[in-house]
Structure 1
């Protein structure tokens, strides 16, 4: 099914969008989306991701910059003349037409008469071949979404744009569709550019994720790289949860940085610092909640040597099935979070218990302490830390 004969990267060069004289939705941005990749623009509402997508589609005119598909400059082309199709959250299916005719619509509009085989092939691709004669209202939300994808792909666009396509689905169905969309993209080999505010959705499907904040790309990379090595507090907090500890650098050498925080000395790899650490300088030390082990204070002597360790008291504990989520009151940080898998639960680990938190120093990262530790958390004001006009390029 793969058709990449009319391929080429999607390249945005100096692209920006300003409304009036006061609001800039997208600051000057250079971005390359490799041909045949599944690329996600991820960010909170108002970060500029949908505006960026609409400029690729031709639904918004950029204030500055160019949009290139392969070597072709499409900046001034109207939407219907671009080799691009868009799938929206609303699906926009024709209620009076069968599923077959919904998918065939684009072919018939182009004057193609023989539509039975291509429509059949496309419905088989999205696993709806046996429902071809049904109407949209007779399908589930996930099935309607697959029809919308099939209708968008039937014309073999160079790029498929997806604007929050799973937002209207419930959690279980959304997760199923994440896997379906990834399977479809792999089979057809067409470039997918997917806009979402859902971190899990982006990380599940995309080869490359661009985290947007305040109209700029905050960080770009593979999902695992963004999660394990965030470069800003916004990315650290927006992609999952991070414990960020204010610390002072006491030594740097041998590839290791040593810091002090109230009541603790911690170590981390120098290569995992997003800023150059200097002795006497401040550093935000981060560790993900699932990387931390929790041991009752009575068993402190069982903690292996060489691990980062801090003391604390359990302030709260919430059982959520696969894990228990603890909030720890500690001298280094008032609300440290720890996620512990429910394998062999220690019945002593209840609110009020004194505990030791410990983890592998290699699982620690360092960030510039000049940033707000709360950036990227729910309710925090969005701030942009990327440089205006910064060039970011994805690689397959």
Structure 2
């Protein structure tokens, strides 16, 4: 089915073709006509399935049809959780809008950089605003941005934006929007608690799922991604990674670790072993993050060692391998991590290292994902360490310890239980 059959105007189908979008993906086929009808949408689709185009193309058409002669007041607001995703979405929306007349003005805003250029870019207003919640609130407080005319609201990576970490900022932004608007929520995962909150914000939403129903709990992986689980001692993971890279002749690898410190340390060890590696994490300046990502996409780095900052939304074309050097905290994070490979119909490989200490946590991830991977041992790297005995109450199992979100929920519950 061509894009024209979905009801898009020629200017948008031409822009899509210019960007290599010739045949709609399943999420695009199902979502675009519904969005053009003005309905709220809750869309669930695997990573790399074209969710951005699924909402950006009809959003542009809806905005063009509803456009009035008013002074470039923000008509569409796209909220994203990270700076990198904000920049990526903003650029894609601009590319899709190239042939529209008049061409809509797209503004992008995120933290970690000076607010002044973003305020200057908003002079004269903007038709479409793409940004992270915190920076958008900063712009509102500086009277550089008004959101009282927003007709379409998009939450990209909606499950992340709806969890407790963004709850306060999201509620403050929602209070600035008109009550009558179209809402589009998209993500690869919608855990039940997040989905319940999403349902409260949506109005008679059309629910679109183009994946296994297990994805609602974070239990799916892209169908073209081959997963491997390798047992190894913690102190031999770097050597094993170098061995696998040499044996597999991998040209580019995205390696996930748990902390910023680990990202720096592992990248330094790989670099010392003659592998062109760099780190990517939230402690770097925005300029350094942008440069590292750009160079990795250009294949100037063999390895980027990253935290979960790179687990969501970032699109790296034809990335062959993802490695969980440290296991992700949750099953949902696992889905998003391995979704960086196997995108847009390409195959991919996702390898997880499991140490004796992390064995119980991996079993928890497997249980929540409803899967069981065969365990491998690589000759010369057979593990020697034994799993520690379980701590009383399960406190020693990563994933059962209270997370930051759990602690915030407990604090909120405690505050709410206090008598006035």
- Alignment TM-score, normalising by the size of structure 1: 0.31
- Alignment TM-score, normalising by the size of structure 2: 0.30
Q: Which has the higher helix share?
A: 2
